Amino acid sequence: MLLGSNFLTRAALWSVLSLAVVAAASAPVRAQSSLEAQRDALFDRMFEAPTDLDLMLGYARLSVQLRDYEQVVATLERVVAQRPDLIEARLELAIAYYALGAYEIAVYHFNIVRGAPNAPPELIAEIDSYTANAETRTSRNSVTGFIEAGPAYGFVDGGAGVEVGFGLTWRYQFEGANDLSWLTELRATALHFPDDDDETFTYFLLRTGPEFSLDGTAYGARLRPYLALRSSVDFDLDNRSTAGFGLQYSDTFGTDWAGFALLEGGALRRTDYDEDITGSFISAQIGATYFPTRNSLVRLALRARKDETDNDLTDILSWGGRLDVQYSFRPSWARSDRLWKVGAYTVLDWQRFTALTPEREDLIYGFGASLRAYVKDDYYVEARADILRRDTDVPGAATSREAVSIVFGRDF
Amino acid sequence: MIRAVSAIAMAAALLAAGGAVAQQIGVVAAVDPDMSGRPPTGGSQVKAPGSPVVANETIVTSASGRGQLLFRDQTTLSVSPNSEIVLDGFVYDPAGGGRTGLSLTRGALRFIGGKTSREREAIIRTPTAIIGVRGSSALISYEGNQTRAILIAGDRLCVSGTCTNRQGAIMTEAGYQGQVTQAQMAETLSQIDGPPQPGASFSTGQAGGGGGSGGTGLGFGGGTGIAEVTGPDSDPVSSQGALRDFQVFDDDARSDAIVGITSGGADLPPVEMLPDPMEMVPEPFDPAPDPMPEPAPMPEPMPEPMPEPMPEPMPEPEPPTPDPMPDPDPPDMGGGDDGGDDGGPPIIIIEPL
């Protein structure tokens, strides 16, 4: 029934997605090779004339494009040594160090720039933002988060509603030569439509565990074992809660790729049909992220999950994937120093209700997009749109959710 | 015979070493106010911007002198006053390979790695320690018979076998000494670079621009562009340009929760079981149905008579029907006649959104 058409649909969608990823990935690689050649040629000229400011500037610009900020720092150090009066060069040196995560040395240079006699107020405010963030990132205890709320509209049945969200991340860095920190995250999201409770949900996550390097390098393999509590509640009182143990793995491969994997399992409890259902779950995820530029990424994640419960209706095997594209930028006219973010995703998942006879099959697919604009300092407005559908071989049971929301929030 | 081969090999090695000694490995990029060099063959030379430096050359600064060196593999070295370094380990092959190494016999320096130290750990020797810098930049000093190294950026810094991957970590021969403070950093940088020039100011008409440093067209020839791609909330980048995907385990929670996908969010669509499969029939039934509705496909009655008379009158046999007729009222699920024991599957529907 559904399986045949689903298979073709999945194959077609994934083919398109794969081609898009390959096309997106190959173009920047070619451009990068060309930039490398240009930069090497410029270096040869700079080596012959090491005090030529124009050559140094050109070399640093190409290094920025190649995301080689260490060479940007090296070049600007030479500029500052030769022209200590160029306070603008020192400002860029501070930003370059900041980009490398060298926060103490960045703050040193930021403070010099801040003390310039004619430093404009906008720049001082931006420098204060940099130094405050640097202090947070270098402190042993840091708490960051966000809070947001705004109107939403559901196009299927929901009508007018509201979306609220809250997040908190607490990182404690242990003393020692190697980076070891304990990370605790709290997330809560609710989408509520007063006229249609069925389209409403609440999602809650508490995840905590240490994070450490596996190979002793700053950007190498990292592992994070964790405990996680999750709960999702529909307002018709169907809910699903899990308590699980998991492992997150992440690594970088060269300059443009990062990989990740996740394995989580634990106990499961549902409330459906006015009865409690208990069981267990195990989920896995593996994927890769490609960074075409400093501020853009393409991420593909493949995932699978199995729920086994004491109720046949909730024994589920699912697998599928998700593709994300994100880009950060800063409009020249923006009043905040924060980068704006535009993103889109598409999901494709297949679910089998394995204990039913015959088995039920669902196909879940859709896409979404968002744009976050920082209006002032840490305050932002974000527009979101989601169109998600569930096809099933149970007649009349297909569903869809189409919603837009505009939330106003603040990072802290 | 063996001796002859060994002698030839040694001669070849010496010739090669002699060639390397003469090879220019770098250039002086900045001097303030003076710096000198002592090549392996020849006397002391006053260095000026553009002066070549060769393999195994000794670079010396006075109590007031400092300078910067740029190497062919794009390594940059800043040398503090009262320093002496020997460039005894720089080998660079543009086609690939090479190594970076030097000896710091006194003073302080800033090492910003180039191409070779990204592929192979750079080695910096002091009289009391061997420092390995991998894909990295570091501040290194040798004073008072103690070696101190601070990891600025990169993958790893090792001092005499003890390593750190923490940026800002201070390492000595005794191991990890904690994170550098702002005061310590200022002191170290002032030692290497000198105190910042007082009174340096922004170029007239170009300071700041609209909204801070991003895209402001700073006086430095329009800038490098670093401010346009970096903000206070930007994630750090490795010295080799690698990025971590910090949101990878977060981003799917919201959308998955919305639709009820697995892994990361609310997983299951709300479902309920209908009491009877026939309830799936969308059209309501006639409240007063005909006693004998028009049968759907009815099997033909048996045409042949019974071969033998029955001893007792039997009731009229009912023709077989595909399914019992549904009750127009909602069925009683508590009774035994649930209509679901005929092997049919339980039917589930997704609640309407």
Tens digit of pLDDT for each residue in A310-358?
877 778 898 999 999 999 988 878 777 788 999 999 999 988 888 877 7
What is the maximum span of chain A, computed from C-alpha positions, in angstroms? Answer: 80
- The shortest C-alpha distance from B92 to chain A (Å) reads 14
Residue with the bigger pLDDT between B42 and B9: it is: B42
The DSSP bridge partners found for residue A285 are: A262, A303
Which CB contacts under 8 angstroms, 24+ apart, belong to A134-140?
A: A134/A98, A134/A103, A134/A104, A134/A106, A134/A107, A135/A107, A137/A101, A137/A103, A138/A103, A138/A104, A138/B168, A138/B179, A139/A173, A140/A172, A140/A173, A140/A175
ipTM score over 0.85, yes or no: no
The closest CB to that of A85, out of B197, B243, B255, belongs to B197
Q: Which two tokens stand for residue A163?
A: 């979306």
Around A97, how many Cα atoms within 13 Å sit in the side-chain half-sphere?
27
Taking the model in full, what pTM does it have? 0.78
SS3 B205: coil
Residue A186 and residue A206 in contact, taking contact as beta carbons nearer than 8 Å: yes
What's the gap in Å between the CA of A87 and the closest CA on chain B? 6
Model confidence pLDDT, tens digit, residues B171-207 = 999 999 999 999 999 999 999 999 887 767 776 554 4
Secondary structure percentages of chain B, helix, strand, coil, to 5 = 15, 25, 60
The DSSP code sequence of B58-108 is EEE--SS-EEEEEETTS-EEEE-TT-EEE--S-EE-TTS-EE-EEEEEEEE
Q: What is the pLDDT along chain A (412 residues), one digit of tens a residue?
A: 444 455 556 556 656 666 665 566 555 566 778 888 999 999 999 999 999 999 999 999 999 999 999 999 999 999 998 888 889 999 999 999 999 999 999 999 999 999 988 888 888 999 999 999 999 999 999 999 999 999 999 887 778 899 999 999 999 999 999 999 999 999 998 888 887 666 677 888 999 999 999 988 888 899 999 999 988 876 554 678 899 999 999 999 988 899 999 999 999 988 766 678 899 999 999 999 999 888 899 999 999 999 898 877 778 898 999 999 999 988 878 777 788 999 999 999 988 888 877 778 888 888 899 999 999 888 999 999 988 888 888 877 787 888 899 999 999 8
Closest C-alpha among A66, A93, A92, A88 to residue B110: A93
Nearest to A366 among B200, B210, B259 (CB): B259
**Interface residue B261 vs chain A (CB under 8 A):** yes
Question: pLDDT-derived band of residue B309, with 50, 70 and 90 as boundaries?
Answer: very low
pLDDT at A257: 92
Question: Is A187 close to B266, i.e. CB distance below 8 A?
Answer: no
Question: Tens digit of pLDDT for each residue in A262-292?
Answer: 999 999 988 766 678 899 999 999 999 999 8
Q: Beta B101-112 vs B122-125: how paired, if at all?
A: parallel
State the pLDDT at residue A407: 96
- 3-state class (DSSP) for residue A276: strand
Cβ atoms of residues A341 and A374 within 8 Å: no
CB-based contact B76 A77, cutoff 8 Å: yes
Model confidence pLDDT, tens digit, residues A218-245: 888 999 999 999 888 765 546 788 999 9
Q: Are A42 and A396 in contact (CB under 8 A)?
A: no
Distance from B116 to chain A by nearest Cα, in Å? 13
